[in-house]
Amino acid sequence: MKNILITGGAGFIGSNFVHYIFKITEDYYVINLDKLTYAGNPENLAGIGEKFPDRYKFIHGDICDNELIEKIFDEYNPDYVVNFAAESHVDRSILYPNLFIETNVLGASTLLNIAKKKWINDFESKRFLQVGTDEVYGTLPEDNPEIKFTEQTPIQPHSPYSASKASADLLVQAYFDTYQFPSLITRCSNNYGPYQFPEKLIPLMINNAVNNKELPVYGDGKNIRDWLFVEDHCDGIFTVLMNGKIGEVYNIGGNNEIKNIDIVKNILGYLNKPETLIKYVTDRLGHDRRYSIDASKIKTELGWEPKYKFEEQIKFTIDWYLNNKKWMDDVISGDYQKYYNLMYGNR
């Protein structure tokens, strides 16, 4: 049995990846390290420890904690590391950029340093995968849909969040170039699905619509994103982890370019709520206009492509939040409510 260290495994994508691992295989022992900040929710993994007591270990801790990371490597000697741990919301990065530098850059550096130290004599059997984002590429023109982000697109981040993620990617790439460290990088488009913290567009709009609250939409709402169902993303990550070429970057996209305002109207229509709930608010600082992923490399080289259709999975996603009202109510409190009021309360 192989040991896989998943950092940030109580967050949105990380917890879905943990569920995915237990769904598809019995070959891995999962060590889940998470700091449990506001977006890291143990309820995302309720029952996993009881169901798989011999294959799962949760550790509450920070990837910046050098002593803890070294102890984990000494005790579990992970064969694979998948780094999801990150501050991830652009709006929060504008308010608190230092938090993003600390976790996203210094945290990645800590993981890399200790993994290199512990794996130095056994690089061939190890793999370190950095989970990145298409936001590091910057923005694309709206009037030329043929232009998409490829792995060769120059990095041009426009927010503290994307700059911190780009920095982490460059560190990971430098470790491969300098030490032949067994690293891989994935960059995904916008994810949607269960367990997403309701600061992000889709769960935020669902929650507000259900409660007949205004739906805050930045600018004119015509920013375009490529949407990827989270389980497709998890499948892509696992494919790269197992079969990707060391030192390479792989884009993972859903081939679903949709304007934000159309997402919002889709949700309102499904919930039979009026579009008068939409409130256009002052645009986000440095707001990228369009993202679009070219995922031909992972398709051609590794045979991966998304399985799910947006039209079906957006309905599944809305229903999931409707059927998990307690989960939503539990996270709509405390620090999140203060943050929401700060971002939208005075607009």
Q: Is 66 in contact with 137 (CB distance < 8 Å)?
A: no
Residue with tokens 């691992």: 21
pTM of the predicted structure, to 2 decimals? 0.94
Using CA atoms, how far residue 278 sits from 199, 214, 318, in Å, is 16, 6, 18
Give strand pairing partners of 258: 225
How many Å separate Cα 19 from the centre of its chain?
15
pLDDT, position 334: 52
Q: What angle do CA 228, 251, 237 make, to 5 degrees?
A: 70
Residue with tokens 């004119």: 220
What's the CA gap between 171 and 3, in Å, rounded?
24
Type of residue found at 218: Y
What's the CA gap between 182 and 180, in Å, rounded?
6
pLDDT, position 193: 98
pLDDT, position 347: 36
How many Å separate Cα 186 from the centre of its chain?
11
How many Å separate Cα 189 from the centre of its chain?
9
Q: Enter the DSSP assignment of 4.
A: E
What's the CA gap between 220 and 249, in Å, rounded?
33
Residue with tokens 């970057």: 249
Closest by CA position to 60, among listed 77, 76, 36, 37: 36
Q: Is 155 in contact with 136 (CB distance < 8 Å)?
A: yes
Query: Would you name the residues annotated as active-site residues?
Result: 134-135, 161
Residue with tokens 């998948």: 82
Q: pLDDT (tens digit, 0 to 9) for every residue of the chain, 347 residues total?
A: 999 999 999 999 999 999 999 999 999 999 999 999 888 899 999 999 999 999 999 999 999 999 999 999 999 999 999 999 998 888 889 999 999 999 999 999 999 999 999 999 999 999 999 999 999 999 998 888 899 999 999 999 999 999 999 999 999 999 999 999 999 999 999 999 999 998 899 999 999 999 999 999 999 999 999 999 999 999 999 999 999 999 999 999 999 999 999 999 999 999 999 999 999 999 888 889 999 999 999 999 999 999 999 999 999 999 999 999 999 888 887 555 554 454 444 43
How many Å separate Cα 304 from the centre of its chain?
18
Q: Is 228 in contact with 179 (CB distance < 8 Å)?
A: no
Domains and CATH numbers, the chain: 2-195+229-256+290-309 (3.40.50.720)
pLDDT, position 332: 80
- Determine which helix (DSSP H) or strand (DSSP E) holds 218, and give its type and residue range: strand 215-218
Q: Is 202 in contact with 258 (CB distance < 8 Å)?
A: no
pLDDT, position 27: 96
